């Protein structure tokens, strides 16, 4: 166990309902994620996740991107708001803004994102539609450190799910989201425990790893 004074703090950035934020707050409340959530910040004053965070006693702030002339000015204001809480890690949880290179460099190695695909496949938006259109049999989500290239950066953890013949976007999205809620708290915990090491474009994990098992899709029941 780490002493309390060494506990890492995080700031979570959201733009909407914040379901991944909720999974992080739930893990903190359950004692399985040993971090302090210093604040939840949003670029949208109407983000539903702000009310949820405040109801759980987490400080919230809004930096409305519509109040700024350009991306650089907004990013500077958001950086100021983040730095007021001096977090060890900045966690993007459905934060729907493309960040400037200056912002990303400022938090290099301590800026984490979750993306609903198995990167580098399907960066950007509408990932579940793209997966269905391409006919892939395996889809999933990726937690990664953020770099200036959109939806790229060293991968911390990925979770894969099967794509079923009768899937639509909503069904596939729900299956992936359930895995997002599992792996994001785990990735943040590894960071908080000092288990992650960046080597070039790879993230090495200081923990025993299991080489057994595979997700095969489609898998059919044995006769």
Catalytic residue list: 115
153: left (phi over 0), alpha (psi -120 to 50) or beta: left
- Token readout for 27 is 């893990």
- Token readout for 40 is 């939840």
Angle between helices 169-192 and 19-30 (to 10 degrees): 40
* Rounded Cα gap, residues 178 and 223, in angstroms: 29
**Which residues, in sequence order, are CB contacts of 183 under 8 Å at separation 6+?**
114, 141, 143, 157, 158, 159
HEC string of 36-76 equals EEEEEEECCCCCHHHHHHHHCCCCEEECCHHHCCCHHHHHH
Contact 198, 181 (CB under 8 A): no
Reported as type and span, the H/E element at residue 220 is none
Contact 161, 175 (CB under 8 A): yes
């Amino acid at each position: 166990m780490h002493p309390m004074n060494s506990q890492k703090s995080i700031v979570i950035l959201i733009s909407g309902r914040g379901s991944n934020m909720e999974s992080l707050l739930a893990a903190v409340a359950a004692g399985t994620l040993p971090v302090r959530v210093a604040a939840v910040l949003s670029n949208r004053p109407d983000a539903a996740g702000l009310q949820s965070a405040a109801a759980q006693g987490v400080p919230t702030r809004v930096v409305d991107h519509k109040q700024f002339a350009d991306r650089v000015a907004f990013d500077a204001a958001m950086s100021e708001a983040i730095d007021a809480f001096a977090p060890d890690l900045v966690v993007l949880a459905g934060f729907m803004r493309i960040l400037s290179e200056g912002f990303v460099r400022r938090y290099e190695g301590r800026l984490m994102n979750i993306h609903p695909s198995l990167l580098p496949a399907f960066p950007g938006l509408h990932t579940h539609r793209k997966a269905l259109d391409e006919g892939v049999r395996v889809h999933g989500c990726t937690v990664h450190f953020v770099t200036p290239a959109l939806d790229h950066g060293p991968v911390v953890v990925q979770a894969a799910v099967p794509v079923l013949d009768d899937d639509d976007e909503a069904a596939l999205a729900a299956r992936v989201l359930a895995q997002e809620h599992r792996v994001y708290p785990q990735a943040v915990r590894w960071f908080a425990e000092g288990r992650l090491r960046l080597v070039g474009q790879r993230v090495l994990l200081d923990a025993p790893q299991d080489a057994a098992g595979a997700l095969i899709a489609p898998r059919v029941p044995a006769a």
